[in-house]
Every structure is written in C-alpha cells, then in structure tokens.
A = this chain, B = another copy of it.
Amino acid sequence: MATEIPYKIYLSEEEMPKYWYNVKAHMKTQHPPFIHPATQKPCTKEDLRAVFCDECIDQELNRTDEQIEIPEGIRSFYKMFRPSPLVRAYCLERLLDTPAQIYYKFEGNNTSGSHKLNSAAAQAYYAKKQGLTSITTETGAGQWGTALSMAAAYYGLHLDVYMVKVSAEQKPYRREVIRTYGANVIPSPSDTTEAGRKILAEHPGTGGSLGCAISEAVEKAASTPACRYVLGSVLDHVLLHQSVIGCESKIALEKYGVQPDIIIGCAGGGSNFGGLIAPFMGERLEGKNDIEFVAVEPASCPSLTRGKFVYDFCDSARTTPLAKMYTLGCGFMPSPNHAGGLRYHGMSPVVSQLYHDGYLRAVSVEQTAVFEAAVQFARCEGILPAPESAHAIRAAVDEALKCRREGKKKVILFGLTGTGYFDLAAYKQFNDGAMADYIPTDDDLRKGFETIPKCAVNEGLL
C-alpha cells in the first residue's frame, strides 16, 4: 500500500491527540530523584515550588499515569500551529535509490521555527492558570526564547528573556523576533540580578554563557512575586509536553498501516528525542514492538556516547538540583559547533535511563557530514533544516544507504525539529568550504569529568 501514502499526512483536528504520553508509566527502572545540592537529599515539591509552576512539578514527579490530558486551553493554542505534517520523503528516497521508506515529522512550520513551542505553550498556560503574571527564562541560540515569547503573548504574560550577550549581539534578528512578540530581552550577564552583577564585576566585558543566563533567570523568578522560571528541555515535564510529536506521528502512521522499524532523533537536552519516541517506547517497554531507537548527537558534544552516568548539575553555574544523567561534566566546554541546541553537557534523565538500560542506541556525527546531509535534503525535499535537525537527517540517510547495501525495506522515521533560517552564518561557512570538525580529545573529556561534583550521591555514600 506504500504507493498510496501521500507526501504529507496532516491529522484532522478531531484526530489530534487529547493526551500527552508519559513514558515513565512503563519504565521498570525509574531515573533516580533530583538531589538538593545543599542537603544531598531528594528534592521535595516544596523545594521546586519557588522556581517552577505547581502543575509542571506534578507532571515532573508523575511516574504512574500513561495518559495525561492536554487541557482545552492548550489544545486550542496547539491548533494554531499544529498538527505538524508527517512527510513521506519520496524525493529523498529516490535520490538515495533506497528500498527503505523514509518519513519525517516536521516541527518547523511555526514562527519559533522549532518543536520548542509545544512545551512553551504548556508551561505558559499553567503559569497563567496558577495566577502568575510573569515568567522568566534564558535563551542561547534563541529558538526557545522565541517560542516562549509567542506563548507569553498568547496567554498574556510578561516575559523576561535572559539572552546570552554574545548571542544577542550575533543574532540581533532572533532578538528582534522575541521583542516583536512583546517580551523583554535582557543581554546576560546584566546588572538586573545579583548573579549578573557578580559575573560582571569578576569578568568585565564578558560575552556571557548559558550557565550565567540560567542563574539570572532563576534568581529573577525566585525574587519576583507571581513569577516562575521556565525551562525548555531536559526535565521530565518538558519531555511529556513534547510527546505530542510522537503521539501525532503514531496516529498518522497507524492511519496508513505503517509501523516504523527505526526512529531517529537529534538529542541535545533530549526533549525532542524523548517526545518523538515516547508512545513507541512505551509499547516497546511492554514488549509490543521491536523498534530500534537512535539518538544522534554531535561528535563535538558526545554526552551519551562518551559521557558518564552520574549525578551532575543541570547548569554550568552549579545552581540547579543534581540530576542523574549522562554528562560530560557541568564545566565541559564544547568546542564551537553551529548546532547551538545540541551543545549541552548533560542529557534528559529519562533518556539517560532508557539508554543505560539498553532500550536505545546513540550515534555521534561530525559537523561537515551533517551539513552535507542538510544541503542534500534541502535541495530535494525543499526544506532548509536547522543544523540540530540535520543531525537526524545525517543518521537517517546513513540508515537508508545501509538498507540499499543490504537490500532491506526498512521503515525509517526521523524528527525534523526545525528550520535553519537563522543559521545561515553556518551555512555560509559550509558553502565557502570553511567548516571544520571538532572532536574533543580524551584530555578535553577528562577536564570536563573533573567538574562533576564530588557529592555524597556520586561517592556511593547515599
């Protein structure tokens, strides 16, 4: 029946998911709890309440309910930019001359340009519902800041975005989109917080860092009435919101009687990958399918393929709770790599646990090979992909070529998380033949591992 599958499958509004999928309900081994760095005890709800919205905390800690309802107030926002298309990559298949079927779920058809809006919508909705008046966050490359500014505008919340100063200067247009949606962009470090003033005093003229921006946003949330902090990846509730990607994909494929053999996603903090695989992984954990799950990370920041599975800070400023995850060390400095969204030292605890338990495999790919796949894809499928998304394209193309060599008709599904319209400096570098690959040496990794906290939980004392 393959020939009758349309180029693009859009669900009708009635078919769109009404529930997120909580994969933790099927995990035999749960990831260990967050640890408070001061007390070395598991974080309580109360610990988290000063920073995060109540409903997000409930979702963060929910390990029992497979289905969690998407409130009507979020579903009507989702209808504005969803359903996203599930695309049959006929042109790419022809180009590769592969017997494989290739599908991709494209999340870039909204102004934020990525899947980030799925969780931004949910978190802004819950903040509004709780009676808060403002939210804060940090942004590096700017996709998350853009997504949250759109959600804040929709629900009528004030938003302060701490944007890494060097990004705000290098990507003035990203900053401008955020401003257009009515949010306040503060280049970080700034003099609006204690954390920012401290950094400025110690390092005058610094371009800032994501770690510093996180510290500023968290401080702002904790010190402002009716304000909370909002995070765009890593955490369980963010993966939950992103499961809408996987749920839509599953419904769309089932409509045409197609079962994927391999599901591929790029993984930075893990929210896209975790969301894409969620409902398929749930069935896998129940023994109902035998799908191969592949997380793709840049060779320059290989947290799954070369990291350690230990407790670490989620931020480089060492202010957050400790999470058990694959990490390169919170002080690991990734070499320059244009996929800003994949330059994270750690990995979602859920994805980390599933990887540790052998339910998924990870591959790392090099930057120039990623851009080769990106350009090949753009020219035949018509979409200019984000560098992050192109990591998944690279791996999908490699799998399809393997199918050709082995004469196998596998069904490949990959996540195309977003568009590269704000990443053209990277494309220019590639087009000019001036792009280099960066792979950390063992010594680079050793230096990163030394920044993993020597806490009781890591020493096996708890």
Could you tell me which A residues sit within 8 Å of B by CB distance? Answer: 6-8, 10, 12-13, 79-81, 91, 109-111, 113, 150, 153-154, 172-173, 176-177, 179-182, 375, 378-384, 419, 421-422, 424-425, 427-428, 431
Contact = CB atoms under 8 A, between A and B. Distances in A.
A256 to B, nearest CB: 13
User: What 10 pairs between A and B have smallest CB-CB spacing?
Assistant: A173-B424, A153-B379, A7-B79, A176-B424, A6-B13, A111-B384, A10-B10, A421-B421, A176-B428, A80-B382
**Secondary structure call for the A interface:** helix
A110 B382 contact: yes
A383 B111 contact: yes
B111 A378 contact: yes
Nearest to A109: B109
Contact of A375 (B12, B180, B428): B180
Contacts of A177: 384, 421, 424, 427
Contacts of A384: 111, 177, 180
A82 to B, nearest CB: 9
Contacts of A172: 424, 428
Residue of A80, A110, A113 ringed by the most chain B CB atoms within 10 A:
A80
A379 B80 contact: no
Nearest to A423: B173
Contacts of A7: 13, 79-80
B182 A150 contact: no
Contacts of A153: 378-380
Contacts of A383: 110-111
Contacts of A150: 379, 382
Contacts of A173: 421, 424-425, 428
A424 B174 CA distance: 8
Contacts of A419: 111
A322 to B, nearest CB: 37
18 contacts: A8-B13, A8-B79, A10-B10, A81-B382, A91-B154, A109-B109, A110-B382, A153-B380, A154-B382, A173-B428, A176-B427, A176-B431, A177-B424, A179-B427, A180-B375, A180-B378, A182-B379, A421-B421
A382 B147 CA distance: 10
Residue of A180, A375, A421, A424 ringed by the most chain B CB atoms within 10 A:
A180
A428 B179 CA distance: 8
A382 B431 contact: no
Nearest to A156: B379
B380 A154 contact: yes
A154 B172 CA distance: 32
Contacts of A380: 153-154
A181 B110 contact: no
Contacts of A91: 80, 154
A130 B7 CA distance: 27
A114 B230 CA distance: 33
A40 B241 CA distance: 67
A112 to B, nearest CB: 9
A12 B9 CA distance: 9
A147 to B, nearest CB: 10
A237 B81 CA distance: 33
A113 B173 CA distance: 16
B111 A179 contact: no
Given A81-B382, A150-B382, 11 more contacts: A6-B12, A6-B79, A8-B13, A80-B91, A80-B381, A111-B378, A111-B384, A113-B421, A153-B380, A180-B384, A180-B427
